A and B are shown apart, each in its own frame.
Chain A
Amino acid sequence: MSAAQPLLIIPACNEASRLPAVLEGLEAAGLDLEVVVVDDGSSDATAEVATAGGAEVIRHPFNLGYGAALQTGYKYALARGAKVVAQMDADGQHRADQLGRLLGPVQSGEADLVVGSRFLEETAYRMGPLKGLGRRLFGLFGRWVGLRITDPTSGFQAMNRRVLELYGADFFPTDFPDIDVLVAAHRRGLRIRECAVRMDPSQRKSSLHSGLRPPYYVYRTALAFWVASARAHKNGTR
């Protein structure tokens, strides 16, 4: 891999059934990317499927969480000297043909971090009422500190090395990195841009945000948002 070649991080946990379609989509998109699948302690054949699909595979010795899997990818990218990195989920929600739209502004230097948004333009994507409420709430958190984000829960992103250096630090959450990490990046003066993308419904049967998780998720994100705001304020990067 050359430093100029973008690196794509795909965190995956028990995604052996959905990952092949994602990797095929990437191949069909014809992008010049190094694909790294971070297997977060899967009990199925995720790692084997990823290797067969031509991806580099980094295996966690046990399950650490979605955020930790992403961060392992960031640390790998930092060690490899990557300058541009994108991330997408392994559940088929993020479309490979949209990656170019995310990578463009980062590669041209217009933005440090680009977030793929389902809501910047009218699309067929529909979010459930609870998720929609969370999205609006987190959007309000962002506005509180002057960050306008229409899709704060989107994990479909591209970033440069400045963002990687920030996200490789210990503050990065191990479970759900959302508006809190965007606020941390915003407060450190990194240029964040949203870009309209099309997404498909997740193929995962049980959502990350099902059961008792939504209230905990809102609580944790609110707390992390407050910490990110307070830390940045203390560091004088308001």
Chain B
Amino acid sequence: MTSELQIEQLKALMLSAPESVVTRIIAVVLSVALAAMVLWLVRTRRLREEFTPLWVAASLGLALLSLRFDLLQAITRAIGAWTPSATLFFLGMVFLAVLCLNYAVRLSRAGLQLKNLAQEVALMRHEIQDLRRRGEPGSSTGPLL
């Protein structure tokens, strides 16, 4: 009974610990840097716009949590974590899982498109060869594709 009470007290103590100013600054800088990097990658055409929503949402979320510490504490209580840093780790893992699923969906679609494209190439190559065999006008004898 006493140890349970001590654990509860310890948990309450950790949850109510004041936020470090340094941590807040680091979090804000990180979120701004992430958003800036995403925008820079889009501007230099190395990242397509349709891939950005998750990253922008992540940087905005990080900025929001770093500015509103009470919100982070509320989420920490809601998920049963002891410290805000554990909550951040948890949210980071959720973000990565969603990101992976998003890429799996995109890969599935790209795989299907690739399969259809390869089949089209195979069928067209066969048709070209067939035309050449029959000596249709306009068909050359050069290499296919």
- Give me the interface of A with B, judged by CB distance under 8 Å: 38, 56-62, 64, 68, 71-72, 75-76, 79, 170, 174
Residues of A within 8 A of B121 (CB): 61
A58 to B130, CA, bound (A): 11
Residues of A within 8 A of B118 (CB): 60-62, 64, 68
- CB distance B116 to A60 under 8 Å? no
A-B contact count (CB 8 A): 36
Size of the B side of the interface (Cβ < 8 Å), in residues, is: 11
Q: Which residue of A lies closest to B126 (CB)?
A: A58
A27 to B113, CA, bound (A): 37
A72 to B126, CA, bound (A): 11
Residues of B within 8 A of A64 (CB): 115, 118-119
Residues of B within 8 A of A72 (CB): 119, 122-123
- CB distance A71 to B122 under 8 Å? no
- CB distance B126 to A57 under 8 Å? yes
The listed residue (B112, B115, B125) touching A59 by CB distance below 8 A is B125
Least distance between A79 CB and chain B CB atoms (Å): 7
Residues of B within 8 A of A56 (CB): 126
- Give me the interface of B with A, judged by CB distance under 8 Å: 111-112, 115-116, 118-119, 121-123, 125-126
A75 to B122, CA, bound (A): 11
- CB distance A71 to B119 under 8 Å? yes
- CB distance A59 to B116 under 8 Å? no
A76 to B129, CA, bound (A): 14
A62 to B115, CA, bound (A): 10
Q: Which residue of A lies closest to B119 (CB)?
A: A72
What are 5 A-to-B residue pairs whose CB atoms are below 8 Å?
A57-B126, A64-B119, A72-B122, A76-B126, A79-B123
- CB distance A75 to B123 under 8 Å? yes
A174 to B114, CA, bound (A): 12
A38 to B123, CA, bound (A): 10
Residue among B115, B118, B119, B126 having the largest count of chain A Cβ atoms under 10 Å: B119
What are the 5 tightest A-B residue pairs by CB atom distance, in nearest-first order? Answer: A58-B126, A72-B119, A58-B122, A60-B122, A68-B115
A58 to B115, CA, bound (A): 14
A159 to B5, CA, bound (A): 73
- CB distance B122 to A61 under 8 Å? yes
Residues of B within 8 A of A61 (CB): 118, 121-122
- CB distance A170 to B116 under 8 Å? yes
Q: Which residue of B lies closest to A174 (CB)?
A: B115
Residues of B within 8 A of A58 (CB): 122-123, 125-126
The listed residue (A57, A76, A170) touching B112 by CB distance below 8 A is A170
